[in-house]
Amino acid sequence: MPNALLPTILREADAALFPNRCEGGTNLVAMEAMACGVPTILSANTGHLDLIKDGTALALTEQRPIPSAPGWRESNIDEIVVALETFYTDRTRAAAIGAAGATLLAGLTWTKTAAEMKRIINAV
């Protein structure tokens, strides 16, 4: 499927779930879902932490360390079910989270990112 068609399909989702154990940066697919206004559930670890702000997503906070992979965490299945049920039973809250996620992502432009990087570099 051409990438240009993804928003049309993605925004039809009722929820997006990312219980990822580790993200090397921010999660591009999660960001795309959020940008489309899809209510999103994110594991509260690694790169997802940059996307969980002020009601922009439901956070999976019960993160169990994985001994064989330092720094990685595993989400709790029961917490995932509760988060999905929250979106299913409270459509108003789900819509508000989706809208907040879209607002956050609308502000994350390349121009803003480049300006912030320039500010940081100049400060050093």
Cα(16)–Cα(98) distance, rounded to whole angstroms?
10
Cα 74 from chain centre = 16
Which residue has tokens 């997006």? 16
pTM of the model: 0.89
Query: From 3.40.50.2000, 3.30.1330.10, 2.60.40.10, 3.60.20.10, which CATH number describes the 3-123 domain?
Result: 3.40.50.2000
pLDDT digits (tens, 9 = 90+) for 59-100: 999 999 999 998 899 999 999 999 999 999 999 999 999 999
Domain limits, the chain: 3-123
Confidence class of residue 26 from pLDDT cuts 50, 70 and 90? confident
